[in-house]
Structure 1
């Protein structure tokens, strides 16, 4: 492990700590240190802010990891859970759940579980279809077009559902789609943590064969890499990580594309273990910064991520075109 990598991680670690402190102190009401550790009139607000920081950290870990896996597997810097349609299909699955489950009484913990299972089930199905057609497309740019078409189709179905939805269901979906991180409860964080830990474990199993795959299919097979198993690992990890966050935070767009891009700019892109660690650190920092901006301006989190991400992706496209 090089000194440059250690310094990068140390700088990002302290930046994350600072951003967490600022985040905990950002809101309409000023809190004191004891509000976070003892019963007071502001304890509930303190708990909401702690939950906000925790869910943002989880999102910062999982979404960039999902994008990193997909970009390395498809060898395409524009591959990501939102561009390839995973986020859109997860959103469609959540929409079906919100609009059609309002008459079913379930305990809160089960509601959270079914919400996440709906998102993950939809994204897994899409990824299986997506990987099934990769053999038919020699030019990988067609994969981006396919993902765009899937996103457009999912958006059209969601719009149709919204047109005929009841007022309360429509309100719940709109609030969810805004990325309302202040509304995530501690029970939801527990469910989200379990899903993300499972996704990170699958990611850990996928990194070593992914290194072999990056050297070429023939070379990977000569090293004993099971390409079919690798494909399954990428599908499961990407879907778990991106869809679980989408289920609770709404569609947080473009983070899964721009964070891996920045990480490749600042450190050797061939060292995938270090790239994965950098993606998690930088993802947490960027998401914390976005959360602070969202609290200061009252602009939804997914709007901020889009405003930031679109110019970066446009710059990537222009840079590639020049090359």
Structure 2
């Protein structure tokens, strides 16, 4: 899988309207800017491939539901709502382009963090995990309704900007934004590292987990913070990338023993990176938005999962 990731990364670097030489990536040539854009595209796909499946893996293991994804708590929807507010109400403010992109990403992160605080405060009131899922569904529906209302009254240019962001603009992430995204992702991975051992006990049942010394309340808070940080950071810089957080953990459980969570986590990151690089190549070749490609691929897979569960 590592060899496949390296090969798809090299193919990704050579995918575009122009053919680049090796010196374009290491020297100041006339195509140096294009080479930098492609390098940034590969880096951000690797980070997305790590973050989104990890978030989905945590959600599915904690809720014991193979259809749970990073957006199950409404984090992605609220991030989209925050970006919609920024795009639709900041068109009259004249800002340089690099500041506009920074504020756009910041608005998505701030909105997601606010919802994360709400989820943390509500999680203590919901003893049953299913209530937290229902709360996330209600938040997603409410955020979607407000976004639709904003789109209805938006000006043409603002509406176009929001739609372009929602498609998953993997070519618009700058190097400085990648640095910020990397920090957020590595913080999320550190928190994820702290959750794996308690999750192993939690998978055996709540009473057994408590007998092993697992603090279930602390685990719930850690899961919410980690999943929120990983999914919100990618949504902020890339837009909502749908279904990857559901289908990658599903494939990983088919490939390897699903009870070995440490190996499952590592496998999720590797398979996620490979899949995102393949989607990026497909998006560049076909000129179809990344989010559309992930949806076209993800929807049939989830449908097969539902049919398979129904047979069982």
TM, length-normalised to structure 2: 0.92
Determine the structure 1 residue equivalent to 2:249.
260
Determine the structure 1 residue equivalent to 2:282.
293
Determine the structure 1 residue equivalent to 2:169.
180
**Aligned pair partner of 1:163 in 149, 152, 155:** 152
Q: 1:136 and 1:269 mapped to 2: Cα distance? A: 24
Q: 1:125 and 1:177 mapped to 2: Cα distance? A: 24
Determine the structure 1 residue equivalent to 2:139.
150
- After TM superposition, the structure 1 stretch with the greater mean CA deviation from structure 2, 19-28 or 112-121, is 112-121
- After TM superposition, the structure 1 stretch with the greater mean CA deviation from structure 2, 14-23 or 162-171, is 162-171
Q: Secondary structure at the match of 1:182?
A: coil
- After TM superposition, the structure 1 stretch with the greater mean CA deviation from structure 2, 216-225 or 165-174, is 165-174
TM, length-normalised to structure 1: 0.89
Query: Given the superposition, is the C-alpha separation of residues 274 and 75 from structure 1 closer, same or farther in structure 2, using an over 3 Å criterion?
Result: same
**Aligned pair partner of 1:317 in 306, 309, 312:** 306
Shift of 1:227: 1.1
Alignment of 1:246-285 (within 5 A): 246-285=235-274
Q: Secondary structure at the match of 2:15?
A: coil
Q: 1:129 and 1:86 mapped to 2: Cα distance? A: 15
Q: 1:193 and 1:184 mapped to 2: Cα distance? A: 12
Instruction: Spell out, residue by residue over 1:96-118, the C-alpha distance to the aligned partner (whole angstroms, 9 max, x if none).
Output: 23223442758738526623432
Q: 2:211 and 2:189 mapped to 1: Cα distance? A: 27
Cα pair 1:87 1:246 within 8 Å, conserved: yes
Q: Is residue 81 from structure 1 mapped to residue 70 from structure 2 by the alignment? A: yes
Q: 1:316 and 1:114 mapped to 2: Cα distance? A: 35
Q: Which runs of 4+ in 1 moved over 6 A?
A: none
Q: 1:30 and 1:302 mapped to 2: Cα distance? A: 26
**Aligned pair partner of 2:293 in 290, 296, 304:** 304
Q: 1:182 and 1:48 mapped to 2: Cα distance? A: 6
Query: Given the superposition, is the C-alpha separation of residues 160 and 132 from structure 1 closer, same or farther in structure 2, using an over 3 Å criterion?
Result: farther
Q: Secondary structure at the match of 1:181?
A: coil
- After TM superposition, the structure 1 stretch with the greater mean CA deviation from structure 2, 278-287 or 172-181, is 172-181
Count, aligned residues: 309
Cα pair 1:127 1:235 within 8 Å, conserved: yes
Q: 1:278 and 1:163 mapped to 2: Cα distance? A: 42
Q: Is residue 115 from structure 1 mapped to residue 107 from structure 2 by the alignment? A: yes
**Aligned pair partner of 1:240 in 229, 233, 239:** 229
- After TM superposition, the structure 1 stretch with the greater mean CA deviation from structure 2, 98-107 or 20-29, is 98-107
Determine the structure 2 residue equivalent to 1:51.
40
User: Runs of 5+ in structure 1 lacking a partner?
Assistant: 1-11
User: Runs of 5+ in structure 2 lacking a partner?
Assistant: none
Cα pair 1:16 1:288 within 8 Å, conserved: yes
Q: 1:272 and 1:218 mapped to 2: Cα distance? A: 19
Q: Is residue 221 from structure 1 mapped to residue 210 from structure 2 by the alignment? A: yes
Shift of 1:41: 0.9
RMSD across aligned positions (CA)? 2.2
